[in-house]
Amino acid sequence: MTPRRASSRGAVEPFHVMEVLKAVAARRLSHDDVVLLCVGQPSTPAPEPVLAAAERALRAGTLGYTEAIGTLVLRRAIADHYRAQYGIGIDPDQIVVTTGSSGGFLLTLLAAFDPGDLVAVTRPGYPAYRNDVLAAGCRLLELACGAETRYQPTVAMLEALPEKPSGLVLASPANPTGTIIDAGELAALSRWCAANDVLLISDEIYHGISFGRPTHSAWESGQQSVVLGSLSKYQSMTGWRIGWLLLPEPLRRPVELLQGNLAICAPAISQAAGVAAFGPDARAELDGHVRRYAANRDILLARLPELGIASFAPPDGAFYAWCDIGHLTRDSQAWCADVLAATGVALAPGIDFDPVDGHRFMRLSFCGTAQDLAAGIDRLVAHLSR
Ligand SMILES: Cc1ncc(COP(=O)(O)O)c(C=O)c1O
C-alpha cells in the first residue's frame, strides 16, 4: 500500500543555504579550508552568566513544563528590558515566551489570521516569513523594497496596493540587508496599520546589534502591533530557542491557548538561564561581540570594492551585507556553489531571500572572526582576478 500523501502545507520552498551547508560538510571530508561567510548565527556561546545559571538550573529543579506563556521571572526580566532600553512600560502579562521568535511568528500567524487572509512581507526578506505565511494557508504579498527606501516598506507602498492586506511583516535590522527603518517611517507605518485594521508584525530580533543608527520598537508608537523578540542574536543563544511576543490585548488569550496546545511551553532550562542574559555582566560580554561585528563590518566595507562590489545595502545592523553581484553572475546559487568549490568560502545565495531578483545577489555574514573574514575576502579577490 502506498503511504498517504503529505499535505500541500508542507510543500514549502527549501532554505537554499542548507544546500551550501551540505556542500560544506562534503568539502570538509577532503579539505581543511572552509571559511563560513554564509551563516546567520553568532560563532560565540551564550554569555558566561547564562551558562552558570543553566548549570544551577540543571541541579536545582525538575525542569518540567512551565506556564504556557513563560515563567513570570523571565517575563519580568523582558519587561524590565523594554523599560530600560526603550522607556516603554509593559506588563509581564503582555508577553508570551516562545520557542525562538520562529515559534512566536507561527503562533502570531495562527492567532491573527484566517486561511485566505492576505499577509504582506518585504522582498528581499527572511525566507521563513514567506514559507510560514503560505503554510498557515494565508495569501502572500511580497512588497519589492529597494535601496531608495533602505529595503524597508513605506506607507506610500501600502497606500498604492490594490488590496489592503490583513497583516504586514517587517524586520529592523533586517535579514538579509541589515538595514534599519527610520523612526519616523516606523511610527507612520504603525499609525497607518492601526488606522487601516492591518496587523503590524515587527521583527526586532536583531536589536542590540547596530552600528550607530538607532533602533526603535514598534511599541514606542502604541501597543496595537505584535513585536517579535529573541535571545538568538544579540544574546548569542540561537540553539536555546527562546523568543518572545509583545501582544496586543485581543491576541493574548488566543496565543496562550495555541502555545499550550502546540508547544506547551518554551524549554524550561533555557527560560531559567535566559533571565541572566539581561544582567549587566552578560551585557558587557555581549557588547564585546557587537564591537567585533562592528570591526568586521569596517573591514568588509573597506574591501568590498576589491571584489568589484559597488552596490550593497547599508549594513546598519545585524551582521549581513546584501551584495549585488550582477556583474559576476545571473545565477547566485550556481555562483556560490562554484566559489565554494574553487576557494572553500561559503556564501549564501540571494535566491533564498528574494525569489525574483535574488539570482544576482548574495548575502555575506560577518559574525565570525576577523581572521576568517579577511581570509575569505583574500580568497575571493584572488579567485575573481583569475
Ligand atoms: C529576521 C529573522 N527573524 C527571525 C529569525 C528566527 O530566529 P529565532 O527563531 O532563532 O529567534 C531569524 C533567524 O535567522 C531572522 O533572521
DSSP characters over 319-367: TEEEEE-TTT-S-HHHHHHHHHHHHSEE-EEGGGT-TTTGGGEEEEE--
| pLDDT score of 3 | 84
| pLDDT score of 213 | 94
What separation in Å is there between the alpha carbon of 4 and the centre of ligand 1? 32
Give the global pTM. 0.96
Average pLDDT of span 110-130:
97
- The fold of 11-45+282-384 is Aspartate Aminotransferase; domain 2 (3.40.640)
Report the pocket of ligand 1 as residue ranges, CB < 6 Å. Answer: 40, 100-102, 126, 171, 175, 203, 205, 230, 232, 238, 243
Average pLDDT of span 65-87:
97
- 296, amino acid identity: N
Q: Residue 301 pairs with which residues in a beta bridge?
A: none
| pLDDT score of 309 | 84
DSSP calls for 82-97? HHHHH-----GGGEEE
Let me know if the fold of 11-45+282-384 is the same as that of 49-278. Answer: yes
Percent of the chain with pLDDT over 90: 89
Q: 62: pLDDT confidence band, cut at 50, 70 and 90? A: confident
Which element (helix H / strand E) includes 127?
Answer: helix 127-135
Average pLDDT of span 39-44:
91
The residues, any chain, with a CB within 8 Å of residue 260's CB and separated by 6 or more, are 68
The pLDDT of residue 225 is above 80 = yes
* Angle, CA of 306, 311 and 316, to the nearest 5°: 100
Q: 13: pLDDT confidence band, cut at 50, 70 and 90? A: confident
**pLDDT tens for residues 315-369?**
999 999 999 999 999 999 999 999 999 999 999 999 999 999 999 999 999 999 9
The pLDDT of residue 1 is above 80 = no
| pLDDT score of 18 | 83
Domain boundaries, the chain: 11-45+282-384, 49-278
In a mutational test of the pocket of ligand 1, which residue from 205, 238, 242 has the highest number of ligand atoms less than 8 Å from its CB? 205
Phi and psi of 243, rounded to 5°?
Answer: -135, 180
Q: Which of 79, 145, 132 is nearest to 101 (CA)?
A: 132
Smallest CA separation from ligand 1 atom 6, residue? 102
The CATH code of domain 49-278 reads: 3.40.640.10
Rounded distance, CA 253 to CA 118, Å? 23
The residues, any chain, with a CB within 8 Å of residue 278's CB and separated by 6 or more, are 77, 78, 80, 81
| pLDDT score of 61 | 82
| pLDDT score of 15 | 83
The pLDDT of residue 12 is above 90 = no
| pLDDT score of 366 | 96
| Residue 189 · residue 168 · CB < 8 Å | yes
Average pLDDT of span 135-161:
96
**pLDDT tens for residues 197-214?**
999 999 999 999 999 999
Give the mean pLDDT of the chain. Answer: 95
Burial 268-294 (b: 16+ CB within 10 A, else e): bebbbbbbbbbeeebbebbeebbebbe
Q: What is the number of other CB atoms lying within 10 angstroms of the CB of residue 299?
A: 14
Nearest ligand 1 atom to alpha carbon 103: 9
| pLDDT score of 10 | 87
| Residue 229 · residue 102 · CB < 8 Å | no
Nearest ligand 1 atom to alpha carbon 171: 1
In a mutational test of the pocket of ligand 1, which residue from 145, 151, 215, 230 has the highest number of ligand atoms less than 8 Å from its CB? 230
Rounded distance, CA 158 to CA 190, Å? 12
In the structure grid, which three cell numbers stand for residue 352, read together? 533564498
**pLDDT tens for residues 232-285?**
999 999 999 999 999 999 999 999 999 999 999 999 999 999 999 999 999 999
DSSP calls for 129-193? HHHHHHHTT-EEEEEE--GGGTT---HHHHHT-SS--SEEEEESS-TTT-----HHHHHHHHHHH
Q: Pairing mode, if any, of strands 361-365 and 348-349?
A: antiparallel
| pLDDT score of 16 | 84
